[in-house]
Amino acid sequence: MNFTGIDLAGTAKHATGFCILTVLDFEGDKFAETKILSTDKEIIEETKKANPVVIAIDAPLSSGNRKCDYDLKIYGALPLSLKSMEILAERGIKISNELKTEKFNVIEVFATATAKILGFHNKSRTAEQKELIKVIKGIDKRLLKKDEIDAVFCAITAYLYYFGKATEVGDERGKVLIPKI
């Protein structure tokens, strides 16, 4: 089964990280394929092609003052009151609504929180990637872009959520899934 992780950029001018994580079961090997996408159409088409059981997007999927953003501040979450976060939320809501219309299961995640909770977080992309390669097959040997690494963490959160190993942070105004600790 496939899980898709999307580290969404605020606009198509910037790189959106995309990951397809493939697993047979919870204990089995995990295989990841990453790439960089840009346009909404590209993101939606690649996601549909992957046909994931869960899509995890690192972007606000609701707007306004949200408890989840306050709760995740300890992991570095930014408030939606910032203009760049408002723009990201608009794009995230638009893409998630289109995917939900296609009957996909879409969740909001925070890649940095996942990396920190699981003990992978490192300011060095190289170090993070080396640690990921130890537990996930198929990750390129080339140095991945930060957006691709974050997309892997999004996909890992989707996988954990599917197998009941994630928890919700927030309330009815917005919920973010993070790994259970």
Here the CATH number for the domain that contains residue 153 is 3.30.420.10
Q: For residue range 34-90, what is the model confidence (pLDDT) as tens digits?
A: 999 999 999 999 999 999 999 999 999 998 888 998 999 889 887 667 778 889 999
Mean pLDDT of the chain: 93
The edge-to-edge listing of strands for the beta sheet with 2-7 is: 30-37, 16-23, 2-7, 54-57, 106-108
pLDDT of residue 37: 98
Candidate from 61-70, 106-115, 164-173 with smallest mean pLDDT: 61-70
Q: pTM for the full model?
A: 0.94
Give me the domain span that covers residue 20: 2-179
pLDDT of residue 12: 92
Q: Which helix (H) or strand (E) holds 97?
A: helix 83-101
Total domains in the chain come to 1
